[in-house]
Amino acid sequence: MQGREREQVLTEKDEEFLSDWAVHSRFGAVLGTTGVDRQAASEADGEQRKWFARLLESRNFSVHRDPIGNQFGLLELIPGAPFVLTGSHMDSQPTSGRFDGAYGVMASTHACFRVAEELQIDISSARYNLAIVNWFNEEGSRFKPSMMGSSVFTSKLPLAAALTTLDQRGISVKDALDSIDERGEFEGLDVASYAEIHVQQGRSMEDDGIAIGIVNATWAAHKFEFRVTGEQAHSGSTLMEERRDALLGAARLVVAARELVNEFEPGELHTACGELTVYPNSPVVVASEVRLLVDLRSPSAEVIDAAYRALMRTVERVQREDHVYIEVVAEHCWDQNPYPESGVELAREVAEELQLEHDLVMTVAGHDSTNMKDLVPTIMLFVPSVNGVSHNLNELTKDEDLLVGVNHLTAVVRRLVNGAL
């Protein structure tokens, strides 16, 4: 494949990126692994944000934080003009890989550094300014829902609701951001277009020999937070037929979600239960309450709807048979949704100019671009993931693929600044 199989000679720009990437990967590093633990508004998150601000300022970008903790680096070369915004997120899942999200921020940063150098030599073709963003709490591991920062920025989630959200220890988003001094007052960024690059978090690009994935649509998804309520009792002496075991009810939902997949064609539905919180979580007590997260994902809205109806039938059956009460305390959903065709075409043209193997790819995971594409012209790009491993300490994308992504994104940002969209 062009650009991936032959030996690569690193340029000075390549080495600058890899150097900064290596430094950034140390924040929240998990000892003995190549992964990180850098959850939103944690101490490690605060440390990397301070370092990132210094990096931006060293290249004359001004650094700003908005009320939900989104971090922006701005370079205004054309006074009063809107901004081309590019970035991703730097928070991680607990004990996770160092590439998810963070690569997108660092790639965007170096793409903007390169374009800024060009503009400072000749600004005659430029129509827009440059902006880099590190979105707050994209992962949703500490605070739910995911994509919180971009949801507030795009007015899909009220700021007050986000700031009062609590983690499992009862710490609010507001207090957590204040503890690392990352809640600001910046508002009102005028965005002309948005670009994001990310590791794929799947294996299709690697299997197909694709260097650049051009995202043309998101999978549909429906996420639930269930609360199963039973009655606390002695786990030894209480008669089996008299128990109202919340954990049993929750376990049936977990199994049902997995078995739902078998009702559809292979690849049509992905399901998961990623979190269980059990009370009182004692070895000699029948659980009285369980909270659990269940999510359904599919490229088809019709499949999501059918899976939803089947899951609700299971909820009714479990309540009846196990004498528990099940309620949905939170939901978060989006339809299968295309990215703008104009952005897809621009990304394709750039890949062809750079002689990079490329193809259209749907995204199964949610990204901040799924919010931004409803607000402004948006481009979403992927680079390959080794073996498709993600949300795992062993997550890996090869250096040569990282660099190809930076080069492609740089050319995309250059075109956007010149008014391509």
| pLDDT, tens only, 27-77 | 999 999 999 999 999 999 999 999 999 999 999 999 999 999 999 999 999
- Is residue 34 situated within a structural domain? yes
Give the CATH number of the domain where residue 243 resides: 3.30.70.360
What is the reported pLDDT for 2?
A: 41
Residue 191 and residue 242 in one domain: no
Given a contact cutoff of 8 angstroms between Cβ atoms, the answer to whether 378 and 340 are in contact is yes
Residue 359 and residue 259 in one domain: no
Give the residue-averaged pLDDT of 1-21: 78
Residue 74 and residue 189 in one domain: yes
Q: How far is CA 338 from CA 352, 361, 370, 378, in A?
A: 22, 11, 9, 11
- Is residue 4 situated within a structural domain? no
- Is residue 260 situated within a structural domain? yes
Q: How far is CA 95 from CA 211, 304, 389, 399, in A?
A: 27, 30, 13, 21
pLDDT higher than 70, residue 412? yes
Residue 328 and residue 345 in one domain: no
Given a contact cutoff of 8 angstroms between Cβ atoms, the answer to whether 298 and 260 are in contact is no
- Is residue 3 situated within a structural domain? no
Give the residue-averaged pLDDT of 219-231: 95
Please name the residue that has the structure tokens 């390959």.
384
Residue 247 and residue 374 in one domain: no
Q: How far is CA 253 from CA 168, 263, 312, in A?
A: 22, 16, 10
pLDDT higher than 60, residue 4? no
Residue 412 and residue 346 in one domain: yes
pLDDT digits (tens, 9 = 90+) for 348-357: 999 999 999 9
Give the CATH number of the domain where residue 142 resides: 3.40.630.10
By percentage, how much of the chain surpasses pLDDT 90?
A: 95
Residue 49 and residue 156 in one domain: yes
Give the residue-averaged pLDDT of 166-186: 97
User: What's the angle, vertex CA 88, arms to CA 78 and CA 79, rounded to 5?
Assistant: 10
Residue 151 and residue 204 in one domain: yes
Predicted structure pTM score: 0.91
Give the residue-averaged pLDDT of 369-381: 96
pLDDT digits (tens, 9 = 90+) for 319-334: 999 999 999 999 888 8
DSSP summary character for residue 29? B
**Helix, strand, coil fractions of the chain, as percent rounded to 5:** 35, 25, 40
pLDDT digits (tens, 9 = 90+) for 277-322: 999 999 999 999 999 999 999 999 999 999 999 999 999 999 999 9
Given a contact cutoff of 8 angstroms between Cβ atoms, the answer to whether 149 and 368 are in contact is yes
Residue 198 and residue 285 in one domain: no
What is the reported pLDDT for 6?
A: 45
Handedness of CA 382, 384, 387, 393 (dihedral sign): negative
Q: How many CB atoms lie under 10 A from the CB of residue 270?
A: 16
Long-range (24+ apart) CB contacts under 8 A made by 75-79 are 75/112, 75/116, 75/129, 75/130, 75/131, 76/129, 77/116, 77/119, 77/120, 77/123, 77/126, 77/129, 77/130, 78/123, 78/126, 78/127, 78/128, 78/129
Strands 220-229 and 325-334: antiparallel
Residue 202 and residue 57 in one domain: yes
- Is residue 115 situated within a structural domain? yes
Domain boundary among 292, 316, 333: 333
pLDDT higher than 80, residue 7? no
What is the reported pLDDT for 365?
A: 87
- Is residue 66 situated within a structural domain? yes
* List of residues 6+ apart from 233 with CB closer than 8 A: 242, 243, 244, 285, 286
- Is residue 7 situated within a structural domain? no
Residue 206 and residue 280 in one domain: no
Q: How confident is the model at residue 3 (pLDDT cuts 50, 70, 90)?
A: very low
- Is residue 5 situated within a structural domain? no
Given a contact cutoff of 8 angstroms between Cβ atoms, the answer to whether 303 and 264 are in contact is yes
Tokens in use for 36? 């990180």
Residue scoring higher pLDDT (4 or 73)? 73
Residue 108 and residue 203 in one domain: yes
Domain, as residue range, for 270: 220-333
Domain boundary among 310, 333, 356: 333
Residues recorded for the chain? 421
**Tally of domains in the chain:** 2
pLDDT digits (tens, 9 = 90+) for 93-140: 999 999 999 999 999 999 999 999 999 999 999 999 999 999 999 999
Domain boundary among 333, 361, 386: 333
